[in-house]
Chains A and B, each alone.
Chain A
Amino acid sequence: MSIKIDTKSAVTQTLLEQLQKHASKVEFMPNNEIVDAIRLLEDKGIPNNKHEDYKYCNIESVLRKEFKTVEQSFNELTHDDIAPLKLDEAINMVVVNGNYHLDLSEKMVVKRFNILPLNDLFPAEKNRIASLAKSKTDALIALNSAFTGNGFFLEIEKDAVLPMPIHIIYINSGKQNNVVNTRNFIHVRENAEVTIVESFYNLGTGKVFSNFVSEKLIDENAKLTCYTIQTENELTYSVNTNQVSVNKYANYTNTTLTLSGELVRNNHNVELVGENCEASLNGLFITNGNQLVDNHTLIDHQVPNCQSHELYKGIAKDKSTGVFNGKIFVRKDAQKTNAYQSSKNILLSDSATINTKPQLEIYADDVKCSHGTSTGKIDEDALYYLKARGIGDDNARKLLLQAFAQELINKLEIESLQERVLHLFEKAL
């Protein structure tokens, strides 16, 4: 459809006009979502730091400074580019510049799951797109809905317990300034169980603004374990939104490791919609240089008897900034909620900052909610003890920081992934 854009924000106006020039045709996004998207962007524009939720993360300014023009020109990728990124223990799927790439993806060796390009969906599947992530709620979801590429739809069949993880490799390969909107929908059906690794890379030579939206629907008694591995380079500015819905007796875990990227904004929005379900959100980030990593989590307890756990740890060096903003929303009906949140941080320089903000909004009276946050420096006594045994300053710090991070790295229950992450972690220190 053709859209006339008339926004109050010049930055948004320029961006939308340029994106429209390059927009590819998508068949799956409901029209009303696109209309809502444009309306929201026209009214509110891309958020800047005046927007409470984007206080530390001025997306408008990034777009104004770094993405004045949008080229949308990309390098071709070959199997050789992908090979080192694969995980041996997993089925490797590839998404390039927002589009699910059949050729580069491995053929299915495991039954009972289906993966399809979004453009090839049947109406019954198509209906689910944008059922969780709504344009109306957030400008970046809106931007994605209006200009998304041809991502994938992944479904794990009822009762299927996948014997190996699925690894989705998202790669950007831009030559010049690009804006990439990647979208997917993951549906884990009743009683099914799966582990999904989502790794993000930028193999391009130009700057990229990567705006990722994933909808994850977990049916009754199903289990979805996700590992998000962010290792994009300093040319990458990314916003990543996971919009998750967890049904009765189901279980959702996400562990996000952010090891690089110039600007990384993560939105983990989890709705607990069925009784007795459980969600865990974990994260580890390490920032250096002028990097910004901004983690926002929202756990929405809508019904009684659900549990949520959150553990975020951050290490900030140089002049970098980290954020953990964790909101727990307990609605009036959500009695017997059990919610726990913890955020621990280490600052390695006087110019580094980590902002933590637990936000508990509790409208039910019979709940257990707790949160704790701490931000400090490296433990000098421990450092001295290690040195007194002959361990040099560098190694002593590494040992202590690795010890701090290990709890989160251990959550990745795939051996080669742990090794890979440990290696990247050491490199980032």
Chain B
Amino acid sequence: MITIKNLHASIGEKEILRGINLEVKAGEIHAIMGPNGSGKSTLSSVLAGREDYDVTAGEVIFNGKNLLELSTEDRAREGLFLAFQYPIEIPGVSNINFLRTALNEIRAYHKQEDISAKDFLAMVKEKQALVELDAKLTNRSVNEGFSGGEKKRNEIFQMAMLNPKLAILDETDSGLDIDALRIVANGVNKLKSKDNATILITHYQRLLDYIVPDFVHILYKGRIVKSGGKELALEMEAKGYDEIKKEFEIAD
């Protein structure tokens, strides 16, 4: 699905990713954990195509294509989806109009016709139910005035609508109450198939009780310093990052 090799990225003079290697296959769920500021969101932004970062070395192959050469929109059209850690509010653009435009542009990229109004509405209804998103929210402007939890749920709703091959969820669990966490996790599990893959970025083992990862990676100072199975998350939760920090102390 995606192969990341020796990825380096900086912002201005500051190198944030210092050689990331990661392979995710179809059907897999990977969790990425790590202390604040270690570069988890940077990794997801670089993969999604945010222009603020300079990729200084490395390559990323996504479904046989050189991901780093694609525009942000083409990455999405190829099936990459990033659930933002901090979703953006866009006053004046309705959620519905936004999603229909996105869906149709993705379809057009794959030489498919626009979705009919009827099918679209049926799909909205179905996916809304999946993440138990209040129907009123879909008619409002994108994320405008949404609570923190509503924004996160809206990200998963969009994911359900766009049906990506690879979804990267950047701390989608933070800010969710227990019920919402269960609903979101449930949504992710239902959307999971042998043809798609998920990368979960999280600080909490709690989420991994609901969505069981095949692999867990620890990102520290721009590198994946440790990988393992789901037990690694439990270990980190119990011990904290102190040991890792000591072991992998690198000069900035």
* Cβ B92 vs Cβ A403 within 8 A: yes
- Let me know if B48 is at the binding interface, CB within 8 A: yes
Question: Could you say which residues of chain A place their CB within 8 Å of the CB of B141?
Answer: 403
| With A384-B50, A388-B48 as contacts: A399 and B158 at CB distance below 8 Å | no
CB contacts under 8 Å to A, within B145-203, are 158, 162
Most buried by B among A387, A392, A402: A387
Closest Cβ of chain B: how far from A320's Cβ, in Å? 23
Label chain A's interface by main secondary structure.
helix
- Let me know if A355 is at the binding interface, CB within 8 A: no
Residue from B48, B51, B82, B93 within 8 A of A399 (CB atoms): B93
Residue from A385, A388, A393, A395 within 8 A of B90 (CB atoms): A385
Question: Could you say which residues of chain A place their CB within 8 Å of the CB of B92?
Answer: 400, 402-404, 406-407
Question: Could you say which residues of chain A place their CB within 8 Å of the CB of B106?
Answer: 390
Residue from A384, A391, A402 within 8 A of B105 (CB atoms): A391
| With A388-B48, A406-B92 as contacts: A393 and B73 at CB distance below 8 Å | yes
Interface size on B, residues (CB 8 A): 31
Residue from A390, A399, A404 within 8 A of B162 (CB atoms): A390
- Let me know if B76 is at the binding interface, CB within 8 A: yes
* Cβ B93 vs Cβ A389 within 8 A: no
- Let me know if B61 is at the binding interface, CB within 8 A: no
- Let me know if A381 is at the binding interface, CB within 8 A: yes
- Let me know if B27 is at the binding interface, CB within 8 A: no
Question: Could you say which residues of chain A place their CB within 8 Å of the CB of B51?
Answer: 384
Residue from A381, A384, A399, A406 within 8 A of B98 (CB atoms): A399
Question: Could you say which residues of chain B place their CB within 8 Å of the CB of A379?
Answer: 90
CB contacts under 8 Å to B, within A361-396, are 379, 381-382, 384-393, 395-396
* Cβ B158 vs Cβ A403 within 8 A: no
How many angstroms between the C-alpha atoms of A389 and B48 in the bound complex?
10
Question: Could you say which residues of chain A place their CB within 8 Å of the CB of B82?
Answer: 388
- Let me know if B248 is at the binding interface, CB within 8 A: no
CB contacts under 8 Å to A, within B55-89, are 71-73, 75-77, 82, 84, 87-88
Question: Could you say which residues of chain A place their CB within 8 Å of the CB of B93?
Answer: 382, 386, 399-400, 402-403
How many angstroms between the C-alpha atoms of A404 and B75 in the bound complex?
27
How many angstroms between the C-alpha atoms of A393 and B84 in the bound complex?
19
- Let me know if B37 is at the binding interface, CB within 8 A: no
| With A399-B97, A399-B98 as contacts: A387 and B88 at CB distance below 8 Å | no
Residue from A390, A395, A402 within 8 A of B109 (CB atoms): A390
How many angstroms between the C-alpha atoms of A406 and B90 in the bound complex?
13
Interface range, A side: 20 to 34
How many angstroms between the C-alpha atoms of A369 and B88 in the bound complex?
33
* Cβ B102 vs Cβ A390 within 8 A: yes
How many angstroms between the C-alpha atoms of A392 and B101 in the bound complex?
10
How many angstroms between the C-alpha atoms of A384 and B98 in the bound complex?
13
Question: Could you say which residues of chain A place their CB within 8 Å of the CB of B213?
Answer: none
Question: Could you say which residues of chain A place their CB within 8 Å of the CB of B49?
Answer: 387-388
* Cβ A389 vs Cβ B76 within 8 A: yes
* Cβ A389 vs Cβ B90 within 8 A: no
Question: Could you say which residues of chain B place their CB within 8 Å of the CB of A389?
Answer: 76, 98-99, 102, 158, 162
* Cβ B88 vs Cβ A381 within 8 A: yes
Q: In the complex, which residue of chain B has the Cβ closest to the Cβ of A398?
A: B101
Question: Could you say which residues of chain B place their CB within 8 Å of the CB of A402?
Answer: 92-93
How many angstroms between the C-alpha atoms of A392 and B74 in the bound complex?
8
Residue from A382, A387, A400, A404 within 8 A of B73 (CB atoms): A387
Most buried by B among A381, A385, A403, A406: A385
- Let me know if B240 is at the binding interface, CB within 8 A: no
Question: Could you say which residues of chain B place their CB within 8 Å of the CB of A404?
Answer: 92
Question: Could you say which residues of chain B place their CB within 8 Å of the CB of A395?
Answer: 101, 105
- Let me know if B229 is at the binding interface, CB within 8 A: no
Q: In the complex, which residue of chain A has the Cβ closest to the Cβ of B164?
A: A390
Q: In the complex, which residue of chain B has the Cβ closest to the Cβ of A401?
A: B92
- Let me know if B228 is at the binding interface, CB within 8 A: no
Question: Could you say which residues of chain B place their CB within 8 Å of the CB of A403?
Answer: 90-93, 141
Besides A391-B105, A396-B73, A403-B93, 16 new A-B residue pairs in contact (Cβ under 8 A), listed by A number = A382-B88, A384-B50, A384-B51, A385-B84, A385-B142, A387-B49, A387-B73, A388-B72, A389-B98, A389-B158, A390-B102, A393-B71, A393-B73, A395-B101, A403-B90, A404-B92
Query: Mind listing 15 A-B residue pairs with CB under 8 Å?
Result: A387-B49, A387-B71, A388-B72, A388-B73, A388-B75, A388-B84, A390-B73, A390-B106, A391-B102, A391-B105, A399-B97, A400-B92, A403-B92, A403-B93, A403-B141
Please give me the 3 A-B residue pairs with the lowest Cβ-Cβ distance, nearest first.
Answer: A403-B92, A390-B76, A387-B72
